Amino acid sequence: MLRWWLPWLLGLALVLPGLTLENSCSEHCKACGGPERDQCLQCQPGFSLHDNMCVDIDECGTELDTCPSDMYCFNTHSSYECRSCDRACVGCMGGGPARCKKCAPGYTWSGVKCVDVDECSEEVLVCSVFHMLMSAVRRCWSVFQMLMSAVRRGWSVFQMLMSAVRRCWSVFQMLMSAVRRCWSALCFRC
């Protein structure tokens, strides 16, 4: 007993003698006129028909990708992948520190790529130690002026001197603590 679809299929084969479907087509063809690469009539997903050949669509070059800003598009066979930017980058156009759109904090542009900043060799310190030192000097100067004023009023020079020394010592300790914190934050990699 013939199945109902068999005569229909035979009729289709007579109507479309030059059309072959998938199984005997070249790798990327969905429908073809023969087994050769240049006999494609319709392509598999991810491919485009060009001169009867199926050519891989570069989704990255056609802006079909949907990669986040911290990733870049990498074209693959019939699709694409989103890959992470280099840690030196804030946004990128490809892999590696030479493809950065902008350098990440702690990195600087060296002309061809983003490179790690060596904070220990930088002349400008991130922490403003100079401003802290000047603040401490102003405080000690203020204490010295108070001492001179007190001596003029007749206080015991020894008492005033000890008071001034204690105040400047506490300012000095505070300054040294700040310098140690700054240095350890600045040069933790040294």
In which residue ranges of the chain is pLDDT below 70?
1-23, 64, 119-134, 147, 150-158, 160-161, 181-190
pLDDT at 9: 47
pLDDT at 87: 94
Output the furthest CA–CA distance in the chain (Å, rounded): 131
